[in-house]
Every structure is written in structure tokens, then in C-alpha cells.
């Protein structure tokens, strides 16, 4: 199974930049997106259906904001929107799909870059999400949690880490949460295949950051420990340019 996750920074904008042609060429079995910035009726599900995908959409109540989607070739056995927590579910941040014994969770973790209130919201979300996934794993041990985490885990995951002190996305408390996330039995699939530096999935639109590869690796496929032996490949697809992010891919046997 090939799974691709992509923060598209507006699905309608990305489609206008050739997203569907790219998707047709890539043909993932499951395509998870974050930051759709669209209500269900604003997403052209017929275009996805023509490529063989079923569409599952969890939008934010606020229009033009947040939102996650899962597009899958195979119809899931079950789809669950949100964590049964209205504080976060109103922002359209978590979508789960079950395929046989495999569960895929698409998550868009909040950004804390707009100030203290949203940083506190982010930290609260992280704790709730960790507890929710840990509880889900008791019922569904084979889990892929893909999406935009808005956190660089290690210094290797960010350009010039010495310059990023005190910056949301690389704060000590965020990285400590990610340590606990890993210790809970989650595996960073990309690092199982590629330990090299300067591998990023997001670049600011400012200062020619992408051209200089001054990026951050904040998009991941973390898999639960039982799936580790089933990992076949993981890549960052830097050639796709429909967003300030690029897609990340994992292949599981």
C-alpha cells in the first residue's frame, strides 16, 4: 500500500496548479491531505472519482481554514471524523479510516506561530491527541499517523537549528512531546530509510527559501511499532510544487 500525505495549503489552489495531473501520475492507494481550506461542497469529488478515489472530508466550521481529507482507492471499512472533542473537531484536524487491520489517521496539528493563545491551544491539542492515539492503539494496533505535525523533531530536521531558538515548531516543549510520542511506540518511517540531513518538507514562501533549501521537516508518516517490519520505503517528494509543503510517501507491505 502506497500512502501519500500532503499539506496542500488550499485544495482549490493546488488543483489549479496541476494537483490532479500529479495525482494521476503518482497513483497512491491512499492520499491524505491537510489544510484543504474548503467546505465539502467546494471540493471537486467527481474529479477524484474519475481517478478511482472515494472521498472523505472533515472540514473546519470556519470557512477557508484548516480541514483534512482522505482519498482512497479502496473503500474503508470505517471512517471517523475527529476525536469526539468539539474544541478541536470544530477545526477539522483529525480524520481516521480503517482498512482491514490497518488504520490510517490524517492529522493537521495546529500551528503556534500566531501567538501565545494558539501555542497553548497547540500544546493542549498535542496532549489530547497523544492520549487519543494511545487509546485507539489498544483497539487498532496497526496505525499510520500521517500529516502536518508543525514540529521539527530533531536539529537535523530544520535548517540552521541554532537560529531557530524560541521559534514555534522547534520549541523544547514541542520536541519533548515528540520524544514522548516516539517512546509511546511510534516510528518515524522516513528516518528508517534516510538518516541524512537537509531533507525537508516545508519552505517559507519568503526569501527564496525553497530554492536555497532552507526548510523544515514537519510532515511525517509515523507508524506504530507492529508496522515497522512491514515498511518498504519512505520518501519526501520534493519535485511536487503545488504548495509551500511537498508530499511525503510511505509504502507498507
- Active site residue ranges: 148
Query: What gap in Å lies between CA 26 and CA 20, rounded to an integer?
Result: 10
| Cα–Cα distance measured from residue 84 to residue 190, given in angstroms and rounded to the nearest whole number | 30
Are the C-beta atoms of residues 6 and 250 closer than 8 Å to each other?
no
Residues 6+ apart with CB under 8 A from 189: 220, 221, 222, 223, 231, 234, 250
Nearest-10 Cα torsion for 154, 224, 147, 78? -170
Residue spans of alpha helices (H) in the chain:
11-16, 19-26, 45-50, 86-89, 116-139, 172-183, 189-193
Place of cell 500512502: 3
CB 231 within 8 A of CB 192: yes
Amino acid at each position: 500500500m502506497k500512502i501519500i500525505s500532503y499539506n496542500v495549503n488550499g485544495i482549490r489552489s493546488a488543483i489549479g496548479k496541476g494537483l490532479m495531473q500529479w495525482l494521476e501520475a503518482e497513483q497512491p492507494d491512499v492520499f491524505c491531505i491537510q489544510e484543504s481550506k474548503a467546505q465539502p461542497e467546494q471540493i471537486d469529488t467527481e474529479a477524484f472519482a474519475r481517478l478511482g478515489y472515494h472521498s472523505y472530508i472533515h472540514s473546519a466550521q470556519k470557512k477557508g481554514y484548516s480541514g483534512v481529507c482522505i482519498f482512497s482507492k479502496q473503500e474503508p471499512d470505517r471512517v471517523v471524523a475527529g476525536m469526539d472533542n468539539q474544541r478541536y473537531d470544530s477545526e477539522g484536524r483529525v480524520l481516521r479510516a480503517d482498512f482491514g487491520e490497518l488504520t490510517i489517521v490524517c492529522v493537521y496539528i495546529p500551528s503556534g506561530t500566531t501567538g501565545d493563545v494558539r501555542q497553548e491551544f497547540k500544546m493542549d491539542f498535542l496532549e489530547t491527541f497523544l492520549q487519543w492515539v494511545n487509546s485507539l492503539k489498544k483497539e487498532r494496533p496497526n496505525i499510520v499517523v500521517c500529516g502536518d505535525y508543525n514540529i521539527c523533531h530533531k536539529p537535523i530536521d530544520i535548517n540552521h537549528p541554532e537560529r531557530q531558538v524560541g521559534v514555534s515548531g522547534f520549541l523544547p516543549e514541542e520536541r519533548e512531546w515528540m520524544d514522548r510520542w516516539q517512546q509511546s511506540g511510534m516510528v518515524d518511517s522516513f528516518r528508517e530509510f534516510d538518516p541524512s540531513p537537509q531533507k525537508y518538507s516545508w519552505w517559507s514562501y519568503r526569501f527564496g527559501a525553497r530554492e536555497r533549501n532552507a526548510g523544515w521537516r514537519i510532515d511525517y508518516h509515523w507508524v506504530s511499532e507492529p508496522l515497522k517490519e512491514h515498511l518498504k520505503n519512505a520518501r519526501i517528494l520534493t519535485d511536487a510544487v503545488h504548495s509551500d509543503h511537498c508530499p511525503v510517501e510511505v509504502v507498507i507491505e
